[in-house]
Structures are given as structure tokens and as C-alpha cells.
Amino acid sequence: MSPELGPSAGGPLAIGLPLWLAIHLAIGVVVTWLARRYALRRRLLDQPGERRSHTVATPRGGGISIVVALLLACAWLALRDPAQAGYLGAAGIGLALVAGIGWLDDHRPLSQGLRLGVHVLAAALLAVAAYQGNGQVMLAVAAFVLALVLVNIWNFMDGIDGLAASQAMISAIGYAFIAGQGNAMWLALALAAACSGFLPFNFPRARIFLGDVGSGALGYALAVVLTMVAGSSEASRPVLLGLMLLPLSAFVIDATLTLGTRMLRGDRWWTPHAEHAYQRWVRRAQGHWAVTLAYAAWTTLAVAVMLAASSTPVAFIMLTVVAWYLTGIGIWWRVRREGGIAGAHRE
């Protein structure tokens, strides 16, 4: 990893890696603390219910800290690297749109159509920026799909203490390593550091939730980083984008198969429910921490496999991705059927 931020050393905006991490970690801590005070004062509380996994009223909206950190990172990187200012500006605007509609929804529920419309607009901004960056139509399509899908997956999967933020943090660390030097690495590290600052407030006992402002923003930020890495000269092979889906596999599999099952049954799949594998596992384990740590272990292993396979032949990468997802589907089926693995541990 480059020891200094930006395309060239020195200058008024130069900053070392330790300070970069410390700044975004501090933002994660301080703004989350402020968001909790704000939520308590405004009575922005998630109440327990049969479709929720928590048992006490808990403030929401703490994910605004991660949004603030990432917007600062985008602005700093754009100033440091004017050639990428357009891309980073579009990514920042898209992130602000997703977070903004989530923030409003945290205060007063909005229609699904309005939320989806804003998500589509944010995804389109990222797609246009990706196309203007290197002229690859397929990358632009991938950016649009990734942004729209990951925003909603992270919304769906943000249901127990520490799960959504830890998954984003671990994935971001992996992407920072696979990105090599460049803006994608610095943005991924900013995301990981901000999540690290938020997590002590959310795990092992949640004192505040991400809220829609944070969960959707995490999905969008990961889409931005994925697109940046896939479009870089060091990672130009399209198959590498498939390999980078490995750290996302726990969420992608659980969300996709659960929603697919609900669709096949004719359920109103877009309404709140408690049928995800992680939710069933929590009910059996009677605690969040074991499930969150199990998902974290899976994603950490996925990152290791991604890094190990990144320099292998294309055929091996494709086999690795297929095998990994088939294994994940098998585990998902078992967890859904039995409510956990080996009965899980009780809290």
C-alpha cells in the first residue's frame, strides 16, 4: 500500500496512511455518539416486534457517521486527484442521495416507490461516471446493477447487532488489498475505518442502529469501490469482478434466496419479515453475537480466498466463484432448515 495519499508525494493535501485511518475512525466514533444523542432527543427509536430481532427500543440513524466519513474521503480524494474528480463527485452525490432518502425515511416512513426512484437515480449516476471513466459499457451496466442491488441487500440484511457494519468493514479491507495503490484503496480504507468507529456502538450490544441512512449507504459505497477496482488498469479482467463478489456472498445468498422463496410463495416480498437465515438462526441461538461472528468468519475466509485466487488463471477463478457460491447456498439451506449450525451457541 502507498504510504501517502494521492497520485504524487508531498503537497498541501498529502496525508499518511495512519492519519487517514485515524481521521475516519474518529469520525465514525464522534458522529455516531452525536447521532445517538440526537436520536434519543428526537425519539427516533426502533421498537421491538415480531418482525424484528431486538427486544428493547433502540435509537436508529447511527450510520450517518459512516456517510460523513465517506463524503469527506471522496472530497479529499477529488481535490488530491483532479483527474478523478468527476467520478468521485458523482459517487459522492449518489451516496448523498441514498443516505438522504434513508435519513428522511428514518424520521418518517416514505413510499417504496420514492425510495426506489432515488436509488435508481444514484445507481445511474455511478454508471455514467464509470462509463466516462474508461468507456466500458459492461462496467457501466455492472455499476448500475451493483449499486441498486447492494443498496437494497444491505437494507434487507441490517437486522441484528453488528451484522451489516461488520460485513461491510471486512469486505472493504479485502478490496483495499486487491485494489493495490490508488483511490479505490483509500476509499475502501476510509469505509473500513468508519465502520470500525461505528461498531462499538452497535456490537455486541446495540446502543444505536445504522438506520436506513447507514445501511443503504454501505451498499452503495461497496458498489463504488467494486466499480473503481474493476475499472482500474491493475484489475482490468472482467472475471475479477466476479471474484470480488466472494466477500459479499453471505448477504447476496441470504437476501436473494430468501426473497426468491417469498416470491414463489406469493408473499408480499417487499414488506418487513423475519425469514432470512440469519434471523432464524438468531431465534434458535437466542443471541446476536454468535450469528454475527459466524457471518464475519465466513466473509473473512471469502476475502482470503479472493486474494489467493486473484492472480490465478481465469478458469480457476470461475471455478472458485461457482464452488464458493454453491457451498454458501448449501449452508443457507441448512441454516434455514435447522435454524443454525450445530445448534449455535447460546448467549
10 Å Cβ neighbour count for 346? Answer: 9
* Separation of alpha carbons 258 and 245, rounded Å: 18
Helix ranges (DSSP H) in 232-313: 238-243, 249-265, 277-285, 289-309
Of all helices (H) and strands (E), which one includes residue 59?
strand 58-59
Residue 26 — pLDDT band, cuts 50, 70, 90?
very high
* Separation of alpha carbons 332 and 257, rounded Å: 9
Q: Is the pLDDT of residue 17 over 80?
A: yes
According to the model, what pLDDT value does residue 235 have? Answer: 45
According to the model, what pLDDT value does residue 285 have? Answer: 67
Of residues 47 and 340, which shows the higher confidence score? 47
Q: Any residues with CB less than 8 A from the CB of 27 and at least 6 apart, and which?
A: 65, 68, 69, 72, 194, 197
Helices 64-80 and 85-107: angle between axes, nearest 10 degrees: 170
Q: Any residues with CB less than 8 A from the CB of 315 and at least 6 apart, and which?
A: none
Q: Any residues with CB less than 8 A from the CB of 271 and at least 6 apart, and which?
A: none
Q: State whether the Cα torsion 102-166-223-4 is positive or negative.
A: positive
Structure confidence by residue, pLDDT tens digits, 228-247? 988 875 444 567 888 999 99
Q: Is the pLDDT of residue 189 over 50?
A: yes
Give CA separation, 92 vs 39, 84, 176, 210, 217, in Å.
Answer: 25, 12, 19, 19, 10
The DSSP string of 104-144 is HHHHS---HHHHHHHHHHHHHHHHHHHHHHH--HHHHHHHH
* Separation of alpha carbons 66 and 61, rounded Å: 10
Mean pLDDT comparison of 63-72, 236-245, 286-295, highest-scoring range:
63-72
**The three cell numbers locating residue 26:** 474518529
* Separation of alpha carbons 36 and 15, rounded Å: 30
Closest by Cα among 201, 185, 208, 178 to 77: 185
Helices 277-285 and 249-265: angle between axes, nearest 10 degrees: 100
Cis peptide leading into residue 59 (ω within 30°): no
Closest by Cα among 218, 217, 208 to 100: 217
Give CA separation, 51 vs 152, 285, 336, in Å.
Answer: 18, 17, 16
Q: Is the pLDDT of residue 7 over 80?
A: no
According to the model, what pLDDT value does residue 343 have? Answer: 38
* Separation of alpha carbons 258 and 208, rounded Å: 26
| Helices and strands, number each (H, E), in the chain | 13, 2
Q: Which residues, in sequence order, are bridge partners of residue 4? A: 16
DSSP 271: S
By residue count, the chain amounts to 347
Closest by Cα among 132, 56, 59, 51 to 91: 132
Percent of the chain with pLDDT over 70: 88
Of residues 2 and 113, which shows the higher confidence score? 113
Mean of pLDDT values over 45-51: 70
Q: Any residues with CB less than 8 A from the CB of 75 and at least 6 apart, and which?
A: 88, 92
Residue 55 — pLDDT band, cuts 50, 70, 90?
low
What is the per-residue burial (b if ≥16 Cβ within 10 Å, else e) of 236-258? eeeebbbbbbbbbbbbbbbbebb
